[in-house]
Amino acid sequence: MGKQIRVRFAPSPTGALHIGGARTAYFNWLFARQQKGTFVLRIDDTDRARSTEASYQQILDSLRWLGIGWDEGPDVGGTFGPYRQSERIDVYRTYLEQLKATDHIYPCFCTAEQLQAEREEAQRKGRAPRYSGRCRHIPREEADRRIEAGEAHVYRLRVSEAGETTVRDLIRGDVVFQNSEIDDFIIWKADGTPTYHFASCVDDAAMEISHVIRAEEHLSNTPRHVALFQAFGVEVPLFAHVPMILAPDRSKLSKRHGATSVSEYREAGILPEALVNYLLLLGFSPGEDKEIVSRDEAVQLFQLDRVTKHAAIYDVKKLEWLNAHYFRSQSPDAVVAKLWPTWVESGYVRADEVDRSTIAWIRTVTEFVLSRSRNWTDVMDGVRPYFAKVNTYDAKGVQKQFSGQDVPHRLRLVADRLQTVAPFTTVVIERAFRELIEELQVKGGELIHPTRLALTGMTVGPGLFDVMALLGREASVQRLNAAADLIERGELVNLQK
RNA sequence: GGCCCCAUGGUCAAGCGGUUAAGACACCGCCCUUUCACGGCGGUAACGCGGGUUCGAAUCCCGCUGGGGUCACCA
């Protein structure tokens, strides 16, 4: 009620940003924007061994690319910083001392081997592997003495055995856990560093996080977190555990299922708008049969309590469909700019090209090709015949369009007729071409399809007369005659693709 | 194994006691068309099972089954 809405996304920099993480980040962002709240980016790098600077950079990079910006974070700072757990050890110590003072925690001298053995014992007897509580009642003086003597120890939270703990989850409703199910878990390791659960809760408390929106895998751990917040004596945040994203075989998403990280999709040519749109649809329905939802619209429509409760299986096909939609709606100019370096490299264009008509022509070629493309590969393939010589011909096309007896002859007739066309524009070309069709008394397709194949090596593409206009008279005539030659000499066999 | 979450077509997902059980992707037809893509029209395809409650259950309750998560001095 009137309280500041503060949410956070807290990835550990131990790998690339996963699409599951990206969705969690997006939901946090949407909620913050909609509620006029604050979105905090915190880096949970308490695991120094596995955390890498490269992952850290990549995660920030992926988030920015997706258009998910943060109000407070390691790079931009904020009043609750620092935002990397590795830089917050003093904060954790302070909270540790507080819990010591309030007797919410106690030192435990059990060795890892001892505990391991007990766990196995419990497993064998079919009991839950819980901490026995052996060190719970060691007198204060004895504990102090052993610590003084340098005995290795950890700290555990005293969790009351009676009663129950309720997790207030905005997606699932109240989830109740019996306290007897929760053991005295470790919050501080023997090496003098906090455990993840402790660090995470300290930060959420210290950063005044109001809503913890995170992956479902944390739900089972949440009663422990609630116990910690209560021990701190702070208000327990509200939770929202978003369902997981599963692979097509219902197993956890992993490398063997293909692209799983944001950067991989980026490299594969998926547009950020498409990915973010897809992620929204995976677990949320914007209503009114809407499928295409921009970030701004999503901010309006998003409702945390309408996020689905069950895991979703990701379907690349739908992502690709969404991507095709966004892809085609790009401006040709933007596409030209994006592909320019590649085209220079391929020798399609000159790096220092400034000729107006050439640039206009490139733009038009791109526009025609773009309208029938779903991704960058489609554009690259579709554009090739206009920039480079045709040196391969679609195999099925050759079989179907070049097998007729008089195809070479007809191609030459087309070439000859083109010589008379002026101005060499789409409508004039079409008029001349139609006349030839009339004269030859063939069906349009009989002449059109072989011509397209001769001109571009492909059976698909923009309208034939547009193709010819773009290619220009000289190139068109040359290619038609060249194809006719190849067919007659039977050399096409080696050029099929 | 204990505990927790979940369960509508192949996939995403509407539905919140009475519907011919939406829509989208994918798939299959047809139309448009010189091809492809786009677009339009149509089709195949779902309430996991068993008990209740109710005049009436996809919707509420219980059980089962199935899937997932979690039980570390990992995060």
Residue A494 — very low, low, confident or very high, per pLDDT cuts 50/70/90? low
Residues 370-389, chain A: which have Cβ under 7 A from strand B? 371-374
Q: Answer yes or no: is pLDDT of A487 > 80.
A: yes
Spatial neighbors of A124 by CB under 8 A, at least 6 apart, are: none
State the pLDDT at residue A115. Answer: 79
State the pLDDT at residue A256. Answer: 73
Q: Answer yes or no: is pLDDT of A48 > 90.
A: no
Residue A404 — very low, low, confident or very high, per pLDDT cuts 50/70/90? confident
User: What would the pLDDT profile of A382-402 be if each residue is shown by its tens digit?
Assistant: 999 999 888 888 988 888 888
Which of the residues of A are catalytic? 255
Alpha-carbon gap, residue A373 to A327, rounded angstroms: 8
Closest nucleotide to residue A128 (Cα to C1')? B2
**pLDDT, mean of residues A294-317:** 94
User: What would the pLDDT profile of A192-210 be if each residue is shown by its tens digit?
Assistant: 999 999 999 999 999 999 9
User: What residue spans define the domains of chain A?
Assistant: 332-383, 395-496
Q: Is the CB of A427 under 7 A from strand B?
A: no
A466, with CB counted inside 10 A (0-12, 13-18, 19+), is: middle
Alpha-carbon gap, residue A80 to A398, rounded angstroms: 68
State the pLDDT at residue A242. Answer: 96
**Lowest mean pLDDT across A33-47, A75-89, A247-261, A463-477:** A247-261
ipTM for this prediction: 0.94
Closest nucleotide to residue A244 (Cα to C1')? B68
What Å value separates CA A177 and C1' B63? 21
Helix boundaries (H) for A79-165: 89-101, 112-124, 140-148
**pLDDT, mean of residues A8-32:** 95
Label residues A471-497 b or e (16+ Cβ within 10 Å = b).
bebebbbebbbebbebbeeeebeeeee
- Helix/strand/coil for A384: helix
Residue A496 — very low, low, confident or very high, per pLDDT cuts 50/70/90? low
DSSP-derived secondary structure for A327-379: HHTS-HHHHHHHHHHHHHHTTSS-TT---HHHHHHHHHHHHHHHTT-SSHHHH
Q: Who wins on pLDDT, A273 or A109? A: A273
Q: Who wins on pLDDT, A351 or A81? A: A351
Other C-beta atoms closer than 10 Å to the C-beta of A210 total 18
- Helix/strand/coil for A242: strand
Q: Answer yes or no: is pLDDT of A327 > 90.
A: yes
Q: Is the CB of A285 under 7 A from strand B?
A: yes
Helix, strand, coil shares of chain A, percent, nearest 5, are 55, 10, 35
Q: Answer yes or no: is pLDDT of A1 > 50.
A: no
Q: Is the CB of A113 under 7 A from strand B?
A: no
User: What would the pLDDT profile of A227-261 be if each residue is shown by its tens digit?
Assistant: 999 999 999 999 999 999 998 888 888 777 777 89
Which bases on strand B have an atom closer than 7 Å to a protein beta carbon? 1-8, 10-15, 22-26, 34-39, 67-75
A39 in Cβ contact with A213 (< 8 Å): no
A436 in Cβ contact with A417 (< 8 Å): yes
Q: Answer yes or no: is pLDDT of A490 > 90.
A: no
Residue A423 preceded by cis peptide, ω within 30: yes
What Å value separates CA A349 and C1' B60? 68
The strand ranges marked E within A360-461 are none
Closest nucleotide to residue A241 (Cα to C1')? B5
State the pLDDT at residue A126. Answer: 64
State the pLDDT at residue A75. Answer: 93
Q: Which range, A33-42, A117-126, A253-262, A409-418, has the best average confidence (pLDDT)?
A: A33-42
A3: left (phi over 0), alpha (psi -120 to 50) or beta: beta
The encoded tokens of residue A129 equal: 């592997």
Q: Which pairs with CB-CB distance under 8 Å and at least 24 residues apart come from A140-146?
A: A143/A106, A143/A107, A146/A107, A146/A109
State the pLDDT at residue A112. Answer: 80
What is the domain class of A395-496 according to CATH? Answer: mainly alpha
User: What would the pLDDT profile of A107-130 be if each residue is shown by its tens digit?
Assistant: 998 888 877 777 777 776 666 667
Which pTM does this prediction carry? 0.92
